[in-house]
Amino acid sequence: MTVGILGGGQLARMIALAGIPLGQEFVVLDPSAEAGAVRLSHLLQGAYDDPALLKKMAQQAAVVTYEFENVPATAAKYLTEHTTIYPPAKALQIAQDRLVEKQHFQSLGIQTAPFAAVDNLDGLKQAMPSIGYPAILKSRCMGYDGKGQVAIKSAEELTDAWHKMQDAPSIVEGFIPFQREVSIIAVRRVNGDTVFYPLSENTHKGGILRIARCISNDPLQTAAENTVLKLMESLDYVGTIALELFDVDGQLIANEFAPRVHNSGHWSIEGSETSQFENHLRAILDLPLGTTQSVGFSAMVNFIGNVPPEASVLAIPHVHLQLYDKSPRKGRKVAHATVRCDDEQRFNDALTTLHELATQFDDS
């Protein structure tokens, strides 16, 4: 069967790497002929909303998925009408707008940071008494990796903060003094079967994910599973989803969700019996889902801007390297490596060494 993917970057590449052994073929739509998944798929090169390319994709692919949430609404509509697109367009529509997303969480009784819609400086000033300081102003659409965000510490910073947003429709959120950031990755099959991965504990720097660590038997696992299940059911969800949460004194507060495979689940390639990529395909192809049981200890470290020399990465015991076939560029995720080991001490030692190496070559 042929699976279509909107976007041909590293997520599409890892989906294809998981699908080829299952006999799948891939067609990707991407503006760039250099995209990382191109070597593993047939490329339709052009804009995501190009009607002729979308028509070809609908003709070639039995099911279409995507690797990023900013899929144009026209493309999602066309593909919904002319083939099958998973996760469903409703999930995209909600994930594309931080305000709609937060309101959706609220409607499900899922706790969020206090938030308010902001369309101009006056609106921001009016919202602040109920939001409180410190706060974060975020553009409603197109933000990722901390882009389109401004921290506000006091009333004096409001005017500057608003100008930095360049009049983009925004939301202002109260700053959550979290102890940990975690994410739960779950997968729901066409027939409703659902599996959950162990929680991932995530470390960010400069708004970019640096380390994602698989936590087996986390005390908040069940609470996170219940939350993401509610979310998936509300969206008639099919595929892999990632829900990012703040842990504040053992209470989970939802930040955002990604209707796709997610960077915080890359450790599952080596650290789980079935990776998030393989399970995403199984889910959208209506095949039985694989067990998500963790295999020993695992954690992933991102390489930002540069990849250290391959030999230095591979010299670290228990490390697996995943290159994305992307040229080095400041702030760009170009590769990751996962440490996986049955022995906790050796795992921790390897993770420390890997993180030091990533930091040494970091260009963010």
- Which residues contribute to the site for ligand AMP (CB under 6 A)? 113, 136, 143, 146, 173, 175-176, 181, 204, 207, 244, 255-256
């998981």: which residue's tokens?
18
How many whole angstroms separate alpha carbon 13 and alpha carbon 180?
Answer: 30
Judged by beta carbon, residue 151 or residue 315, the one nearer ligand AMP is: 151
Q: In the bound complex, what is the minimum distance in angstroms from residue 253's beta carbon to ligand AMP?
A: 8
Residue with tokens 């409180």: 132
Query: Rounded to 5 degrees, what angle do the CA atoms 155, 158, 162 make?
Result: 170
**Rg from Cα positions in the chain:** 20
Whose Cβ is closer to ligand AMP: residue 142's or residue 155's? 142
CB of 143 to ligand AMP, least distance (A): 6
How many other CB atoms are there within 10 angstroms of residue 51's CB atom? Answer: 11
Question: Which one, 134 or 219, has the nearer CB to ligand AMP?
Answer: 134
Sign, Cα dihedral of 57, 59, 60, 66:
positive
Query: In this complex, which beta carbon is closest to ligand AMP, that of residue 83 or of residue 203?
Result: 203
CB 129, min distance to ligand AMP, A: 17
Smallest gap from residue 45 Cβ to ligand AMP (A): 29
The answer to whether the beta carbons of residues 44 and 58 sit under 8 Å apart is: no
Q: Tell me how far, at minimum, the Cβ of 11 lies from ligand AMP, in Å.
A: 16
Give dist(CA 98, CA 114) in Å, integer.
13
Using CA atoms, how far apart are residues 18 and 167, in angstroms rounded to an integer? Answer: 42
Position of minimal CB gap to ligand AMP: 176
Q: Which is nearer to ligand AMP, 164 or 204 (CB)?
A: 204
Find the shortest distance in angstroms from Cβ 157 to ligand AMP: 16
Backbone φ and ψ of 102, nearest 5°: -65, -40
Would you say 9 and 36 are in contact if contact means Cβ atoms under 8 Å apart?
Answer: yes
Beta carbon nearer to ligand AMP, 114 or 290: 114
